[in-house]
């Protein structure tokens, strides 16, 4: 795509979209020219805050009017398939928020619709774009600990996520689908694709419908073993939200990403401790700044990739492999048995 400035349209002006709108203001080479929300109040709030004149309550009308190069779908999961298929029907490149879709079959259909239409699809899976996660990946690529054979990817918090996202308390699925999806994606980003997993879940908070604790044991294609453990029922001395902590053991050393964004690498050269804190962007606020910076980063990656005509890191095809882990974790927790991932992706 040969365009100096990409014009985007955003659908869904809710809680998280405000971060995405801020992110687009910072992105070099792309911006938002039209917005849509079926709730006129949210449309007004976001339209006024970001000075967007073109406003729609109906996505179909916005696509019919056109005048944009890509769409950023920031709605909750129920609408993702219909909106991505609408983008495909209009041959408009699409970004879609996580979770990809209500089911793996829906997600596969969305990938097919975009492939058949010849448009790129990126899932807004931003956690792998966090500064500390990128630092871990760079250390591995530099051979700092040799070949990793074991990992732990951990997110344990007592943060009240339901205050800003009340719908999270209402679904029969909670932590794996909403938060674990990020942690599973980080595990794939760091240790590669997964062949099988076994999961256990619990609901500790009696006021929500879904599970708020999950422990997942995974076999990776490269022979490494990892644990993904997530909890929103863990009260700690210092609340770590929204930090993902990582432990990796390798043939030539070990790596620890610990609370406070501290990266420790131990190998034959000694012990190296680095501060890998995210930047506090001008519009960001603690403790969300880690997530907010990654929103900007993934959106810059989208703009750069769209212009260069290259596949994004979290394309629909890539994110199917993360979403399969979500489905597998629920299936394993229900049956008590390990689940083969290849079987789900066929």
The residues binding ligand 89V (CB under 6 A) are 161, 165, 178-179, 182, 242
CA dihedral 142, 315, 211, 131 (to 10 degrees): 40
Q: Which does 72 bind (CB under 5 to 8 A by kind): ligand 89V, ligand NAD, none?
A: none
CA distance 342 to 323: 12
Q: How many other C-beta atoms are found inside a 10 Å radius of the C-beta of residue 3?
A: 12
User: In whole angstroms, how close is the CB of 129 to ligand 89V at the nearest point?
Assistant: 12
Residue 97 binds ligand NAD, judged by CB under 6 A:
yes
CA distance 229 to 240: 14
CA distance 15 to 162: 12
Part of the chain binding ligand NAD (CB under 6 A), chosen from 68-76, 130-138, 211-219, 307-315: 68-76
Residue 133 binds ligand NAD, judged by CB under 6 A:
no
Task: Report the first-to-last Cα separation within the chain, whole angstroms.
Answer: 32
- Among positions 161-220, residues that touch ligand NAD (CB under 6 A) are 165, 167, 178
Q: Which does 188 bind (CB under 5 to 8 A by kind): ligand 89V, ligand NAD, none?
A: none
Q: What is the CA radius of gyration of the chain?
A: 20
- The number of residues that bind ligand NAD (CB under 6 A) is 26
Figure out which of the listed residues 9, 10, 17, 329 binds ligand NAD, where binding follows CB under 6 A.
17
User: In whole angstroms, how close is the CB of 100 to ligand 89V at the nearest point?
Assistant: 12
Q: Which does 179 bind (CB under 5 to 8 A by kind): ligand NAD, ligand 89V, none?
A: ligand 89V
Part of the chain binding ligand NAD (CB under 6 A), chosen from 75-83, 105-113, 220-228, 321-329: 75-83
Part of the chain binding ligand NAD (CB under 6 A), chosen from 24-32, 36-44, 265-273, 311-319: 36-44
Q: Which does 14 bind (CB under 5 to 8 A by kind): ligand NAD, ligand 89V, none?
A: ligand NAD
DSSP string, 128-188: GGSHHHHHHHHHHHTTTTSSEEEEEEEEE----TTTT-GGGGTSS--HIIIIIHHHHHHHH
**Beta carbon nearer to ligand NAD, 1 or 164:** 164
H-helix segments, the chain: 17-26, 40-50, 59-65, 80-89, 104-117, 131-141, 175, 181-191, 289-308, 316-335, 341-345
Figure out which of the listed residues 9, 10, 11, 199 binds ligand NAD, where binding follows CB under 6 A.
11
* Residue nearest ligand NAD, CB atom distance: 14
CA distance 16 to 71: 16
From the list 229, 281, 238, 236, the residue with the least C-alpha distance to 261 is: 238
Residue 65 binds ligand NAD, judged by CB under 6 A:
no
């Amino acid at each position: 795509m040969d365009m100096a400035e990409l014009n985007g349209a955003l659908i869904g002006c809710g809680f998280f979209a405000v971060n995405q709108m801020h992110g687009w203001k910072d992105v070099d080479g792309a911006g938002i020219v039209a917005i849509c929300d079926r709730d006129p109040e949210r449309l007004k709030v976001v339209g006024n805050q970001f000075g967007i004149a073109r406003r729609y309550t109906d996505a179909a009308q916005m696509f019919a009017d056109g005048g944009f190069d890509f769409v950023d779908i920031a709605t909750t999961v129920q609408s993702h398939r219909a909106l991505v298929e609408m983008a495909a029907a209009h041959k408009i490149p699409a970004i879609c928020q996580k979770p990809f879709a209500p089911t793996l079959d829906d997600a596969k259909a969305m990938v097919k619709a975009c492939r058949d239409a010849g448009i790129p699809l990126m899932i807004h899976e931003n956690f792998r774009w966090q500064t500390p996660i990128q630092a871990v990946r760079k250390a591995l690529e530099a051979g700092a600990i040799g070949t990793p054979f074991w990992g732990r990817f951990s997110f344990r918090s007592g943060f009240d996520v339901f205050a800003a996202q009340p719908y999270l308390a209402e679904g029969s699925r909670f932590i794996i689908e909403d938060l674990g999806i990020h942690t599973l994606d980080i595990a794939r980003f760091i240790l590669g694709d997964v062949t099988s997993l076994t999961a256990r879940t619990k609901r500790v908070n009696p006021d929500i419908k879904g599970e708020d604790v999950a422990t997942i044991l995974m076999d990776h294609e490269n022979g490494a073993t990892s644990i993904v453990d997530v909890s929103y029922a863990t009260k700690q001395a210092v609340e770590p939200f929204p930090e993902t902590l990582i432990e990796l053991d390798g043939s030539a050393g070990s790596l620890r990403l610990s609370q406070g964004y501290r990266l420790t690498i131990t190998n034959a050269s000694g012990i190296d401790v680095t501060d890998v804190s995210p930047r506090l962007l001008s519009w960001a606020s603690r403790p969300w700044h880690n997530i907010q910076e990654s929103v900007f980063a993934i959106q810059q990656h989208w703009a750069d990739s769209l212009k260069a005509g290259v596949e994004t890191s979290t394309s629909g095809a890539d994110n199917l492999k993360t979403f399969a882990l979500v489905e597998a974790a629920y299936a394993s927790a229900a049956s008590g048995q390990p689940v083969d991932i290849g079987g789900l992706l066929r």
